[in-house]
Structure 1
Amino acid sequence: MCVSSATIDLSTQANIDEIKTTHVHLNWNVDFENQNLHGNVVLDLQTLVDNVDKVVLDTSYLDIKAVHFGDQVLKHQVAERYASLGSALTIQVPTVEKAGTNFQIKIDYATTENCTAVQFLKPEQTLGGKHPYLFSQSEPIHGRAMIPCQDSPSVKVTYSASVRSHLPVVMSALQTGVDEDADKEVGFKTYHFSQKTSIPSYLIAIAVGNLVGQEIGPRSTVWCEPEMIEQAAWEFSDTESFVATGEDLLTPYEWGRYDLLVLPPSFPYGGMENPCLTFVTPTLLAGDKSAVNVIAHEISHSWMGNLVTTNAWKHYWLNEGWTVFIERKILGRLYGEATRQFEALSGLKSLQESVDLFGKDSLKTVLNPDLRNGADPDDFFSKVPYEKGFNFLYHIEKVVGGPSIFEPYMKAYVQRFASTSISTEDWKAFLFEYMEKTHGAEMVKKLNTIDFDTWINKPGMPPVDPEFDTSLADACYDLAKRWDEARHSDDLSFSAKDIENFSAGQKIVFLEKLTDSEPLPHHLVQKMDELYNFTSNHNADLRLRWQQVCLMTSYEPIYPEVVKFITEQGRMKFVRPLYRLLHQAKNGAQLAVDTYLEHKSFYHPIAAQLIEKDIGLVKSL
């Protein structure tokens, strides 16, 4: 089908209006000594208009060595760097007279030390401590730091790869074979991969290290360093139930495998939905499966984001808002509607924190933000597209009449837009088209009661109170109220039994609620920890919330625990708010700066850039 290009992607410098990439083949050598990937990329291209005489690609800090068109060496020029968008690579090609013409170019190149897409770890930065490691993270616009490409989600490609390495290699594709090196003394192998479902450039991913795999389901293997394989296999043993529930809600899972890679601690995200191989943080290994909801989220991306993709980062909410919505549908199916509502309440709290951080009138709280003038999509990364997007879809579901009407539409939406990239305008047009065709003019009248413009284009919190069910949250709220009131009385009738029946999620919501009130006095914080043992808890989300409660009141005994937490893992969800709060706390500013500077090399480049803005080392936009 033909999908409109209602929005130009302002985050690419490639000439995507004149030419498109259809397939990418990578020939890479993994060089741990020089900390780079080097080799070549072969791009299959197709002209979209007549008389094309150049190919313009996105690059960022790449060393471009040569460009070939068959046996011909082509002239090329790397432009000066522009804002966050990198340097345009312009390649002069023999004039292609007719639209629809296919041709191929090969680019010899290497990544450089400034690469923001690939992080090389020294052995001491890994769990095993014996072998180096590398992993990539290309979302949103870091694919151009790893591959000269049309780095736009509007361009979806199939890809293949041949990667030579002395350590095992995994990629966001299916492995098709492994060749022993001719010189077996060297110990190198070449790993071959193929991804036959088209994906945007940001989903091309690689990891190399001392990796082992263990089957955890009929189509799932967990990969990680051998030191954590048993724990990881146990923690993620329910993965198949998430995949199967997603299929029941939407369409058959078409990627072949749903494998998981547990990365070293410096991975900056909870998970990255790389197709066939979700990357996840080791902070999910809580020992009690209390943090595996992230897997439901990443599995949901198999349809929302990976299969149906935003065509520009302005429309990022189409990836993330839809994914959160499906994630919570999966959790509701598996654990009951009360659980879905409880998760939605917690998400609303996170959204309020993002809006408070940016300011209720900030353009960064708009569902469709303005990314003109070289704006960096990373600067807009927050809970806004996730939770405001979820609330938007949740509201629409209520208006049209509930799940019985909305869930068939969800399936039709995936079927309609699978393997394409779309805009918010495309999404809205199909919503109205489907509802009118399936349910008639009266349903369109219901849709027209929704203030789409405010939801999509205005800043701040959602314009409608979602009225989530609070049945699982009420006990958390009541306990938080008691502690808040205790500051004004001598009644400290609390005990460990207060939370003995709370789930990990309920404990987190209790702590979240406390952050809505004035900071607690230190004697109450101390008493709470004596009773509830929050400081020693291993659930990373709970550690975050407890440490936030303590930092908000400048409770200095927690400072060493905060430093420990923000230096043993690099997940931005945890390190960024804790760095900010430590920097704001009494006697904490210099500690935050010193801690960051001492551990800067530990963090992923994307995380490092944002932490520096958070604690004032560089000016934030």
Structure 2
Amino acid sequence: MTRLALLLASALALSACQTMVPGTASTPSIAPVLATADAADPHSYARPLEARVTHVDLDLRFDFAARAVSGTATLDIDRQPTARAIVLDSDGYQVSAVIDAATGAPLAFAYGAKDAALGRPLTVQLGNATRKIRVAYTARDAAALQWLTPEQTAGKRQPFLFSQGQAILNRTWIPTQDSPGIRQTWAARITVPMGLTAVMSGLKSDEIIASTGGTQTFRFHMDKPVAPYLIAIAIGDLKFQPLGARTGVWAEPATLPAATRELEDTEKMVEAAERLFGPYRWGRYDMIVLPPSFPFGGMENPTLTFLTPTFIAGDKSLVSLIAHELAHSWSGNLATNATWADFWLNEGTTTYATSRIVEAIYGKRVADQQIALGIDSLNGELKNLPSGDTRLAIDLRGRSPDDGMTDIAYEKGAAFLRMIESNVGRARFDPFLRKWFDEHAFQPVTSAQFLAAVRGDLVRGDAALEQRMKLDRWVYEPGLPSNAVPADRQAFAEVDAAVAAHAAGTLPTAAWARWTTDERLRFLNRLPRQQSRASLDALERAFGLNAIGNNELKFAWASLAVANRHDPAVPAIEAFLQANGRRKFVRPLFLALDKDQSWGRPIARRVYPLARPIYHPLVTGDLDKVFAR
């Protein structure tokens, strides 16, 4: 049976069934894509085909002293006539009451059994005519929210808070159905201490300044349906700098000048992306540079991309990160993976789109070099991951959705799209991709849908083309198919020659001075992992690696130093681990240190307690288990 036939059969079968697994239900009339087997979300307790949330209205107060958020969430509900309850996702917030928002009548509610990864279902009984419910609740120390003291910020004057909802952490502070396939509009009324500014991943409405009780209130709204993980907030000592007619940056005052200089090409990026992928549909494209505790490079929250300060290199050498988060405005935010098993639809498509934006702004050579670095990273993942985890459509049932957030989704996904492009040509592929975004705007999507679109719009019954592209092999089988497009051999020809020469004791001192960050990364990452003390000393003397400012290069050097027990680099490594909380950097370094029981583990065990206070729960949740052993 073809995948398309299976998709149709699944829809018919599920339409006749009662509740199957979390995320499925009996009737496909509310959200047809959710009636297919591959769109059933095992990471949500919701039963959206019976009753689903369509709009969330938050009225919340943030208490920094208590590290608590409290208030109400009013939920609009689309329900089947036979539905008697709605099931929400919860993981830690405490509900004090639920009422019918139209009548004020109290509604019975109950928590189900707790799962370590998913939290608990919250089932609310509905009246015969209930279409809107109001949930009064408090969330303390929610895993999605990181509360920072003034000392942990750039300015050292005010506390700071930011959220990170992906993949399923927003259920720790927002009562809703926390599944990417259940898109919702939202609005928020946010009250914070006087002197702090709140920003959210929606457009700011009228701002209310109220001195009563020493607080001020901000209003936001998102009138386009988004996946719940894209509801995001930040609160702190924030200032804004416009970059263009519809772009700008928020940051702490101490960070804002450097961030503004680094991001000055943003408006050009938006224009380039529109030429490639169609109109930008979110109104504004603003960014916020967060304190170093932010666990990711960036997060594509609509209208307000969240960014790590580690991208600020002073020379725009790391701004492909901005192109990536901007590309999510089409791939991921417009057309969103229906479940985390198809995370590649968000990230692989975005990684491909990033290279196209970079090529348009900075040229083909830069794009080809970044593609080559991505292929290097992919090859590393293919060697280290279990075979089953190297599929694009990954089986995550019974597992954390974070297990699928590897370079397979990003780089194998991008390689898949490059393969399609190479077979059909850009003249056909570009209109296809634009059509994909147009036809699936503000909708959840699955791998089966994408393959059906490729076959319908590009293959068109061409048996030879179908055989050449190996579409199902790419998506549903492990490893990298033989028809992957190789990296451009000329992209790093000079650098690779320098790597070979290094084995004979020659250092590219003059070349290093003019190399880009990508070229320097290629050199450091391509060096043999086993190096002598003399060789590492020579590298450090030649290039000043212990004092280098670029964070990507710091990480590359630290990884090489740890692999060789290079004592002179230890102070720089310790400072690096205590200065930023980006998961991409700190997790592999701590794991590598801890693996070396006699040399590295004592370093890791000494530094982790010092660094841990600035790390987000997404980072500490993993590392705490390591250091508890």
| TM-score bin, normalised by smaller chain | over 0.9
Deviations along 1:163-211, one digit per CA (max 9) or x if unpaired, are 0112110000000111122xx2533111011111110100000000011
* Counterpart residue identity of residue 535, structure 1: N
> In structure 1, what is the Cα distance between the partners aligned to 2:251 and 2:469?
46
> In structure 2, what is the Cα distance between the partners aligned to 1:227 and 1:234?
13
Structure 2 residues not aligned, in runs of 5+: 1-30
- State whether structure 2 residue 123 is matched by structure 1 residue 90: yes
- State whether structure 2 residue 113 is matched by structure 1 residue 80: yes
Per the alignment, in what secondary structure is the counterpart of residue 444 of structure 2? strand
Per the alignment, in what secondary structure is the counterpart of residue 117 of structure 2? coil
Residue 426 of structure 2: aligned partner:
403
Residue 70 of structure 2: aligned partner:
38
Deviation, structure 1 residue 460: 3.0
Check whether the contact 2:391–2:476 (CA below 8 A) recurs between aligned residues.
Answer: yes
> In structure 2, what is the Cα distance between the partners aligned to 1:551 and 1:477?
23
> In structure 2, what is the Cα distance between the partners aligned to 1:36 and 1:4?
34
Runs of 4+ deviating beyond 6 Å = none
- State whether structure 2 residue 390 is matched by structure 1 residue 369: no
Residue 112 of structure 1: aligned partner:
140
Check whether the contact 1:60–1:85 (CA below 8 A) recurs between aligned residues.
Answer: yes
Deviations along 1:498-548, one digit per CA (max 9) or x if unpaired, are 32221111000111111xx34111101110111122222111111111111
Q: How many residues align?
A: 592
Check whether the contact 2:185–2:224 (CA below 8 A) recurs between aligned residues.
Answer: yes
Residue 389 of structure 1: aligned partner:
413
Deviations along 1:398-444, one digit per CA (max 9) or x if unpaired, are 122x21111111111111111110110011111111125xxx544x6
> In structure 2, what is the Cα distance between the partners aligned to 1:263 and 1:274?
13
Check whether the contact 2:498–2:508 (CA below 8 A) recurs between aligned residues.
Answer: no
1:532-551 correspondence to structure 2 within 5 Å: 532-551=543-562
> In structure 2, what is the Cα distance between the partners aligned to 1:216 and 1:278?
14
1:276-315 correspondence to structure 2 within 5 Å: 276-315=303-342
Residue 160 of structure 1: aligned partner:
187
Deviation, structure 1 residue 353: 2.2
* Counterpart residue identity of residue 394, structure 1: R
1:113-262 correspondence to structure 2 within 5 Å: 113=141, 115-166=142-193, 167-181=196-210, 184=211, 186-262=213-289
Check whether the contact 1:391–1:462 (CA below 8 A) recurs between aligned residues.
Answer: no
- State whether structure 2 residue 522 is matched by structure 1 residue 498: no
Residue 428 of structure 1: aligned partner:
451
Deviation, structure 1 residue 447: 2.8
> In structure 2, what is the Cα distance between the partners aligned to 1:596 and 1:17?
45
Task: State the superposition RMSD in angstroms.
Answer: 1.7
> In structure 2, what is the Cα distance between the partners aligned to 1:241 and 1:2?
38
- State whether structure 2 residue 131 is matched by structure 1 residue 103: yes
* Counterpart residue identity of residue 549, structure 1: L
Aligned match for 1:472, one of 491, 500, 503: 491
> In structure 2, what is the Cα distance between the partners aligned to 1:616 and 1:30?
32
Per the alignment, in what secondary structure is the counterpart of residue 547 of structure 2? coil
> In structure 2, what is the Cα distance between the partners aligned to 1:23 and 1:494?
60
Residues 545 and 523 of structure 1: is their aligned pair in 2 closer, same or farther, counting only changes over 3 Å? same
Residues 265 and 462 of structure 1: is their aligned pair in 2 closer, same or farther, counting only changes over 3 Å? farther
> In structure 1, what is the Cα distance between the partners aligned to 2:603 and 2:565?
13
Aligned match for 1:20, one of 52, 60, 73: 52
Structure 1 residues not aligned, in runs of 5+: 97-101, 487-491
* Counterpart residue identity of residue 283, structure 1: T
Check whether the contact 2:262–2:312 (CA below 8 A) recurs between aligned residues.
Answer: yes
> In structure 2, what is the Cα distance between the partners aligned to 1:528 and 1:377?
40
Length-normalised TM-score, structure 1: 0.92
Aligned match for 1:591, one of 600, 603, 616: 603
For CA contacts below 8 A with separation 6 or more, give which structure has more relative contact order: 1
Residue 266 of structure 1: aligned partner:
293
> In structure 2, what is the Cα distance between the partners aligned to 1:383 and 1:216?
31
Per the alignment, in what secondary structure is the counterpart of residue 437 of structure 2? helix
Deviations along 1:358-415, one digit per CA (max 9) or x if unpaired, are 24x2x22221111212x11113322110001001111111122x21111111111111
